[in-house]
Amino acid sequence: MLLAVGMLASCSDNDEGSGTSAEQEEAAAEAIMNAMSPESGGAVTKTDEAVEKASTIEEASKGMDEPGISCGVVYADDATLSGTQGGVNYYVTASWNWMLSCTGFGIPETLEMGFASTREYTSTRMSSDDESDGNIKVSGIELLSDAYVVNSNVDNDGTQVFTLGNGYTLSSDISFTIVNLTYDKATMEIVSGTAEVNFSGVFNGASSATYSGTIEFLGNNEALLTMSSGSTYTFSW
């Protein structure tokens, strides 16, 4: 569930044009949250998939079985993902390539994934048609680790129709640098991590804007987006 909990502190409703500026930043924040949230098939959907693959490899290693993919070999596969959650519907098609890195003794150590995907989603506030690509590295596959740690770079380009206020058509480019996104192995849920965000967009084909911000993953399927203006937004899934 996406929930805005902060507005532009520097704008007043009495200032000429402040509503437009505030609405544009809120539209950008909404697009950023949707590009990250698994509720709309965002970047966390990809990190979840990579961690699930890493878990399968680790489980095979516990039983001294073959991990399913050989060390140092690149594998490719395709998938279709879809879901409905919290009033959001999404449909994703993705192409992935995988490579498992191992120690000199053949023990799985890290899993790297590259991906390219297309996505459509619809919520009560925004609909989007976009595409993304990126890379993900999962460490912590070794048996003595109690967490998987993900580092990733993701770029998301698309067109959104935003229904807030006066409404916007938004062409956006959103990039994430995800740092130490940590999954507890016991629950397979995110417990911590951060992501740096850069956004550039064109509203209604005319007004352009750039924003930056930080996402902090709080655990319990919740995250906090802080825009460079100081505005904060929480989202959960």
- What does the block give as tokens for 177? 């640098």
* CB-based contacts of 205-213 (< 8 A; 24+ apart in sequence): 205/169, 205/171, 207/24, 209/24, 209/25, 209/28, 211/25, 211/28, 211/29, 211/32, 213/29, 213/32
pLDDT (0 to 100) of residue 15: 33
Query: Can you tell me the mean pLDDT for 190-195?
Result: 98
Q: What percent of the chain has pLDDT over 70?
A: 87
Query: Can you tell me the mean pLDDT for 202-209?
Result: 92
How confident is residue 65, by pLDDT bands cut at 50, 70 and 90? low
What is the span of the domain harbouring residue 223? 2-236
Please tell me which of 80-84, 102-106, 226-230 the model is most confident about, judged by mean pLDDT. 226-230
Is the pLDDT confidence value at 73 over 80?
A: yes
Q: What contacts 112, CB < 8 A, 6 or more positions away?
A: 98, 99, 100, 101, 135, 136, 137, 138
The total of structural domains in the chain comes to 1
How confident is residue 219, by pLDDT bands cut at 50, 70 and 90? very high
pLDDT (0 to 100) of residue 1: 55
Is the pLDDT confidence value at 40 over 90?
A: yes
pLDDT digit string, tens, across residues 91-119: 999 999 999 999 888 889 999 999 999 99
Q: CB of 97 within 8 A of CB of 75?
A: yes
Is the pLDDT confidence value at 17 over 50?
A: no
pLDDT (0 to 100) of residue 143: 85
Q: CB of 117 within 8 A of CB of 141?
A: no
Which of 58-72, 135-149, 168-182, 217-231 is predicted least confidently?
A: 58-72
pTM: 0.88
Is the pLDDT confidence value at 212 over 70?
A: yes
Q: Cα–Cα distance between 34 and 189 in angstroms, integer?
A: 19
Query: Can you tell me the mean pLDDT for 20-34?
Result: 90
Q: Cα–Cα distance between 8 and 232 in angstroms, integer?
A: 9
* Ramachandran assignment for 40, one of left (phi > 0), alpha (psi -120 to 50 degrees), beta (any other): alpha
Sort 209 into a burial class: Cβ within 10 Å, 0-12 / 13-18 / 19+: middle
Residue 8 identity: L
pLDDT digit string, tens, across residues 126-161: 999 999 999 999 999 988 899 999 999 999 999 999
pLDDT (0 to 100) of residue 64: 64
